[in-house]
A and B are shown apart, each in its own frame.
Chain A
Amino acid sequence: MAEQKEHQNGIPRIGFYICHCGSNIASIIDVEDVRKYVATLPGVVVSRDYKYMCSDPGQELIAQDIREHKLERLVVSACSPNLHEETFRNAAAKGGLNSFYFQMVNIREHASWVHEDKAAATRKAKDLARAAVYRVRFHQALEKRKVPVDPNVLVVGGGIAGIHAALTLANAGKKVTLVEREATIGGHMALFDKTFPTMDCAACILTPKMSAVKSHPNITLWTYSEVEKVEGYVGNYKVSVKRKPRYVNEDLCVGCMACIDACVFKEPKFPDKFNQGLGKRKPVYIDFPQATPKVVLIDPATCIQMKTGKCKKSCADACDRKAFDFNQQPELKEIQVGTIVLATGFKTYDAKRDALYGYGRYPGVFTALEIERLVNASGPTLGDVVLRDGRHPKAVGIIHCVGSRDEKTNKWCSRVCCMYSLKLAHLIKEHSGAEVYNFYIDMRTPGKGYEEFYDKLLAEGVHFIRGRVAEVTDWAMTPEEQGKLVLRVEDTLAGFVRRIPVDMVVLATGMEAQADAGEVRHKFNIGCGSEGFFQERHPKLAPVNTFTDGIFIAGACQGPRDIPDTVAQAGAAAAEALVLIDAGHVELEPNTAHVVEEECCGCKSCVPLCPYSAITLDEAKKKAVINEVLCKGCGTCVAACPSGSIRQNLFEDDEIFSEIEGVLAQ
């Protein structure tokens, strides 16, 4: 359906199109009414509605009209410009019209989806369409700016996500710098014994990838390093990385570990962070035998030489390669990259926050990560499942959803805990023969082979009690409970309160955003959701993109997820980076600001406003000058210019004033 009429003097010929979006828009907004109304507005020579404007025929309709009706401006009322602005700009170009002679009206996300009153929503759609019709008259022909994309990539975080992304990019021939905060790459996955549901050994599948990172000619691996500062924009980022001192020269150390044997501390004495504090380490240490790079480091807080300068330094003497350097200083490196993949991972919930579960008060209470280390053959007990006092547990209770699905702490489901609890139940039973009880709210096992794994555990004789545990207590009500930890729980299937005495309690702690996620996202200028995880550009259609072009996210930094999903996402993030790199350049919105020289009075009000230092004063002419390459198009200087001599493409004063007039005209 269409309304068509002849050219009107003085006003560009405008084509208006309104989309039904199936019934998404048309069920609330009377599109025909809007179409008829807009046809009466000055300048509008074509007004049409169509089922799906974004479809090929929809776009073709626009292109054809532009040619046939000599359209000079285009307005499309449909969904959010964040979704389809580019689509319709292309449609305009197809018809031979400059893409920027186009204005989009959002009547789906901003109207039909959020309003129930049809008449009011239709009124709103008319107002918004009128505003766009008024505005589009003032549009200018513009061209996108092309900037080259530096082919080098930065990957931040050396867990399985970062490792996979780095290897994918490196295998595609791109130079990658992988920055990891800890002394070794591997992340959380390196702590695990087995992986669900296949029960393949985590180290067996992870360590080959870790070595591949180390030996890959295209990867520069900087562990024990942190990103300090990020400047620039898509395709052209300048990144400063701080390399923390290990007090051991990384290029010389071959990881023979003779120094560790030679340390003046004959026995390991200090809590071993890698083993969740369950084991001990010396001041000179390596996290685990397959640490990558295989380079020792010194903990300055416990090393006698570092603390007092008065050690006989037997470690250094034991080193053939003379790799020790007690005066090593932090080093600041600067690199240029075009794209960045953030894979900074997660932290586990602090189990102490649930006081009723007694973590930190009762030695028999463990976190799941601690158990991962206990069941691990290379862990502190070489795979022996023992309590802190050395006893072997006869009964073990695993409490699900600690720090997940809880109004008081974290509302979200951490997605991995049901499955890893099943895995740990299996391993504990296998290693110790103990009776194992799982206390769950709902069993969540969506994934290939996951439900089957649950079935297998049921058959193995692991007990499942449906109920959120109220309390872990050492208060014995009966002689059998003496010396035990008692889990008090409402068994919601049996319909009564039970007390289950066990020797060991495992808290299936959930996943949270890294403690410094807020700081990191500021550094990279990306967003976070209210729960602290990095915000993707679109939850479904752009899950690894961020609102900052050229910066991608992968893995649990975006939200709780398991290893298969993390790896898939890391691959996707790498692919997104490759898209930019292989295109060789990116097109930037031409929404930069410029100074109209004859109107500028050289007052310098604008100069300090620009966060990118894009504005300078031409001292000879006493006029402000904006460097278009540095300008990012926020428009803050435009709003501040007292003489109105700064203009912003796409957001000209004329355009905005006419839009204001348009939404309010009646």
Chain B
Amino acid sequence: MSEQPSMAPVVAAPAVAFEPRIVAFFCNWCTYTAADLAGVSRLKYAPNVRVIRVMCSGRVDPQFVLEAFAKGADGVLLGGCHPGDCHYAEGNYKTLRRMRMLIRMLKELGIEDGRFRLEWISGAEGDKVKAVVNEMTAQVRALGPLDLPGKFKEWDREMEDLEQHVNASAPQQEEAHVR
């Protein structure tokens, strides 16, 4: 897997190769610990994920996910304890329910399936952190940049253009109406 930019082909490539930016929310007890374990075990994986620690995946408000996309994330990964293993008994079940709804919503917003991922990773599964991060990085790389901030700007410009257009044509319309 060519997860490192230095490995990317140099010949006739675009000036800057696309490196996905993935925001991850990891629960303190399982997935964050698994990521620590991956570190202690010196497993090597793609450097594209930025982890934000929460106590439980249940703390993850769908708005966090949307905010991450809005602020420029190309992917969002959410990691919690396996069903039945939640440190807080059942927080991850709530997460699952919420995220199912969120996934439907993302689809409607035009955000592709592969950009959001919910994974159960126990504290002992350092190797799963590696596998999931690598897989997701490859997947998001294949999808290309999402760049919502850029799109927002574009839409803002379009709106401005529209407004200008409307403003410019408004008096004439009024005249026409009067006439």
Contacts and interface: CB of A to CB of B under 8 A. Distances in A.
- A pairs with B: yes
B50 A635 contact: no
Interface stretch (A104-112, A317-325, A364-372, A400-408): A104-112
A535 B5 contact: no
A660 interface: yes
A15 to B, nearest CB: 21
Contacts of B47: 111, 114-115, 117, 120-121, 123-124
Interface in B101-159: 122-125, 130
A548 B21 CA distance: 33
Contacts of B30: 527
B89 interface: yes
Q: In this complex, which of B6, B30, B61 has the most chain A Cβ atoms within 10 angstroms of its Cβ?
A: B61
B56 interface: yes
Interface in B41-85: 42-45, 47-48, 50-56, 58-62, 64, 67-68, 71-73, 84-85
B85 A527 contact: yes
Interface stretch (A266-274, A284-292, A420-428, A636-644): A636-644
B36 A656 contact: no
A527 B122 contact: yes
A591 B40 contact: no
B58 A635 contact: yes
A638 B124 contact: no
Interface string B17-46: 001010100000110110110111011110
A355 interface: no
Nearest to A80: B36
A547 B38 contact: no
Contacts of B33: 82, 547
A639 B59 contact: yes
A117 B137 CA distance: 15
Nearest to A124: B47
Contacts of A82: 32-33, 36
A529 B123 CA distance: 8
B148 to A, nearest CB: 10
A223 to B, nearest CB: 30
A525 B73 CA distance: 34
Nearest to B30: A527
Interface of B: 4-6, 19, 21, 23, 29-30, 32-33, 35-36, 38-40, 42-45, 47-48, 50-56, 58-62, 64, 67-68, 71-73, 84-85, 87-91, 94, 98, 122-125, 130
Given A635-B59, A666-B72, 4 more contacts: A109-B40, A114-B44, A114-B130, A609-B94
Interface of A: 80-82, 106, 108-111, 113-117, 119-121, 123-124, 127-128, 131, 522, 525, 527-530, 535, 539, 547-548, 591, 609, 611-612, 632-636, 638-640, 648, 651, 653, 656-657, 659-661, 663-666
30 contacts: A82-B32, A106-B36, A108-B39, A109-B35, A114-B43, A114-B47, A115-B47, A117-B4, A117-B47, A120-B4, A128-B51, A527-B124, A611-B90, A632-B88, A634-B56, A634-B87, A635-B56, A635-B58, A636-B91, A638-B59, A639-B62, A640-B98, A651-B59, A656-B52, A659-B52, A660-B52, A661-B67, A661-B71, A664-B72, A664-B73
